[in-house]
């Protein structure tokens, strides 16, 4: 149980909370927690709290949007006392949560239009109920297809180095009774070549104005493989993931994770001591490799012809 905003910041940093929409929602509630700690109404304090959240995960745009929205709400309405400030912030955080739930439902319905009965889908990382405020983005499409009786099979990449696909996506799909096969990330090309994949669907942490997309490391090579094998590649994301202040993917700040996540994953030493490690948490998939963007407002064209 988290009862302090600093604990929320730490939970985001250490991936106890992950998935761009979920990070934004939890950060919003964390901002509300911070206001509850007010001794007096203090804009400077909330600016300090906001900076701590901004620095917790630098790539996911939902985090910044949620924190900015919470600040704007508080500063624009200037509540008269601590109690009214706290009530205002809790209500706004709840609104962000509810809106995300509705966006997930719409993304699921829109994305399901692209999927036929019996199709096999490859997904990467975790984009379901554990990563959002609702049924999910990419997994939301899969759940909606299930509800429509389309009987799709899913391949889930393990998602190195912290195995969100193996630990979360595979578990979540099994809980939902959806047929899922877990693969190592580097097996994707082989099963595509075997003709076993009809669609690739992933989520997004930030999408630049030109459509370049930041998502979990390993997404870009999947897009390259998909275009080589003539498989549609979809990005399922809410409109809040589109950041028009950033022109291209080259401007997206890519978070780097601790070396220990690779060298000592889950407490097991699997590399030489003091080995040099490069561990970006995300990569950038150029728009020209993306077939469609699936949003709550409809299906938007990517750059693939």
- Show which residues are catalytic: 205
Q: Are 112 and 145 in contact (CB under 8 A)?
A: yes
Instruction: Give 222-263 as a DSSP string.
Output: HHHHHHHTT--EEEE--GGGEETT--SGGGSPPPB--THHHH
The whole-angstrom separation of Cα 71 and Cα 89 is 9
What count of Cα atoms within 13 Å lies in the side-chain half-sphere of residue 2? 19
Q: Exposure of 175 by Cβ count < 10 A (0-12 exposed, 13-18 middle, 19+ buried)?
A: exposed
Which run of H or of E encompasses 183?
A: strand 180-183
Residues 6+ apart with CB under 8 A from 28: 66, 67, 69, 70, 92, 93, 96, 97
The whole-angstrom separation of Cα 233 and Cα 2 is 38
| Residue 177 CB neighbours (<10 A) | 8
What count of Cα atoms within 13 Å lies in the side-chain half-sphere of residue 15? 15
The whole-angstrom separation of Cα 90 and Cα 5 is 13
Look at residues 293, 140, 297 and name the one whose alpha carbon lies nearest to residue 215. 293
């Amino acid at each position: 149980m988290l009862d302090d905003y600093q604990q929320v910041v730490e939970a985001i940093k250490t991936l106890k909370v992950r998935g761009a929409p979920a990070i934004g929602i939890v950060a919003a509630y964390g901002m509300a927690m911070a206001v509850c700690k007010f001794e007096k109404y203090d804009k400077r304090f909330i600016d300090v709290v906001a900076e701590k959240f901004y620095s917790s995960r630098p790539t996911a745009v939902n985090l910044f949007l949620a924190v900015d929205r919470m600040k704007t709400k508080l500063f624009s309405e200037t509540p008269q006392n601590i109690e009214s400030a706290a009530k205002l912030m809790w209500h706004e955080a709840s609104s962000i949560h509810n809106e995300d739930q509705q966006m997930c439902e719409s993304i699921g319905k829109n994305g399901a239009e692209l999927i036929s009965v019996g199709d096999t889908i490859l997904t990467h990382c975790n984009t379901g109920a554990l990563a959002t405020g609702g049924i999910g983005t990419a997994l939301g499409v899969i759940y909606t297809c299930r509800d429509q009786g389309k009987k799709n099979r899913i391949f889930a990449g393990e998602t190195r180095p912290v195995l969100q696909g193996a630990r979360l996506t595979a578990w979540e799909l099994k809980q939902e009774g959806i047929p899922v096969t877990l693969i190592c990330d580097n097996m994707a090309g082989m099963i595509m070549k075997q003709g076993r994949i009809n669609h690739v669907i992933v989520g997004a942490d930030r999408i630049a104005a030109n459509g370049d997309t930041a998502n979990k490391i390993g997404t870009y090579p999947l897009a390259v493989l998909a275009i080589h094998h003539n498989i549609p590649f979809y990005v399922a994301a809410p409109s809040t993931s589109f950041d028009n202040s950033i022109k291209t993917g080259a401007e997206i700040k890519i978070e780097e994770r601790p070396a220990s996540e690779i060298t000592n994953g889950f407490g097991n030493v699997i590399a030489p001591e003091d080995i040099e490690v490069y561990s970006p948490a995300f990569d950038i998939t150029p728009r020209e490799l993306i077939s469609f963007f699936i949003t709550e407002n409809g299906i938007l064209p990517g750059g693939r012809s």
